[in-house]
Amino acid sequence: MNVTAGFKIIMLRYGVNASELAKRKGISCRAINKAIGSDSIKKMETIKDYCDAIGCPVSELMSEAEKCK
């Protein structure tokens, strides 16, 4: 499962870039890029928070992540 690739696909699908996601989360764009770019998002709570900010269900992200093994 590749959560990083799944996030990139979902963000494109929902039209949310790293800058917009950072604004929605109230954190820096650098922090978003670091988290998403390095596959460091491991906690389900963090994954859910990011999905909520994007506006997509966690199940959709996980489905995409599973496809990107």
- What pLDDT digit, counting tens, does each position of 2-23 carry? 888 899 999 999 999 999 999 9
Sorted by where each starts, the structural domains of the chain and their CATH numbers stand as 3-67 (1.10.260.40)
Inform me whether the pLDDT recorded for 67 exceeds 80.
yes
**Largest Cα–Cα distance in the chain?**
30
If we measure between CA atoms, which residue out of 54, 46, 52 comes closest to residue 11? 54
User: CA–CA distance from 33 to each of 23, 38 (Å)?
Assistant: 13, 8
pLDDT band, residue 1 (cuts 50/70/90): confident
Mean pLDDT, the chain, integer: 89
Judging by beta carbons within 10 Å of its beta carbon (0-12, 13-18, 19+), is residue 10 exposed, middle or buried? buried
The pLDDT, as a whole number, for residue 18 is 93
| Interval 18-48: pLDDT, tens | 999 999 999 999 998 888 876 667 788 888 9
